[in-house]
């Protein structure tokens, strides 16, 4: 049975789906993302040496927040199968990164302390895909 026009209209008017906010569901999404990373790289993302890895999966940054020391390198890796993502430190006045397609990555070095919020350019409004890098002195 096809949805009726009022049901379709109601879904459209309700707005886009937002990112998952339930900590248990986020943990499940991130565990699945880490499994995909481990399949491709032979080890979990947390075992990468010299970088902190943030995975992009199911419209979620995994982990949503990371804390690193000054001078640390953060690497974002897209482990989705068909969706591209980006990183955009909009509040910092930075340009949006290029789109990262499945298995592509981008890195950034953090040279000063502070909290740096970022978002996925194509998905922050439609899926609330937002993350934070906390840089400790």
Instruction: Locate the domains of the chain by residue range.
Output: 16-136
The C-alpha atoms of residue 121 and residue 133 are separated, in whole angstroms, by 16
The C-alpha atoms of residue 52 and residue 106 are separated, in whole angstroms, by 12
pTM assigned to the model = 0.83
Which of these ranges, 14-23, 64-73, 87-96, has the smallest mean pLDDT? 14-23
Which CATH number does 16-136 carry?
2.60.40.420
Q: How much is the mean pLDDT over the chain?
A: 87
Q: β-strand 52-57 against 60-62: which pairing, if any?
A: antiparallel
The predicted structure's pLDDT at residue 9: 31
Of 12 and 133, the one with more pLDDT? 133
Residue % of the chain over a pLDDT of 70: 85
Query: Tens digits of per-residue pLDDT, 79-128?
Result: 999 999 999 999 988 888 999 999 999 999 999 999 999 999 999 888 88
Q: Is the pLDDT of residue 7 over 60?
A: no
CB 102 within 8 A of CB 62: no
The C-alpha atoms of residue 49 and residue 65 are separated, in whole angstroms, by 19
The predicted structure's pLDDT at residue 22: 86
Q: β-strand 114-119 against 130-136: which pairing, if any?
A: antiparallel
């Amino acid at each position: 049975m096809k949805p009726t026009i009022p049901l379709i209209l109601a879904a459209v008017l309700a707005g886009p789906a937002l990112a998952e906010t339930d900590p248990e569901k986020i943990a499940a999404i991130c565990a699945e993302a880490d499994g995909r990373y481990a399949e491709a790289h032979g080890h979990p993302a947390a075992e990468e040496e010299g970088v902190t890895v943030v995975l992009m999966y199911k419209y979620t940054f995994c982990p949503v927040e990371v804390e690193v020391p000054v001078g640390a390198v953060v690497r974002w890796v897209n482990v989705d199968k068909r969706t591209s993502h980006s990183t955009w430190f909009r509040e910092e006045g930075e340009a949006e990164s290029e789109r990262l397609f499945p298995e592509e990555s981008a890195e950034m070095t953090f040279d000063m302390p502070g909290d740096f919020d970022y978002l996925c350019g194509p998905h922050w409004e439609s899926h609330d895909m937002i993350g934070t890098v906390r840089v400790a002195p």
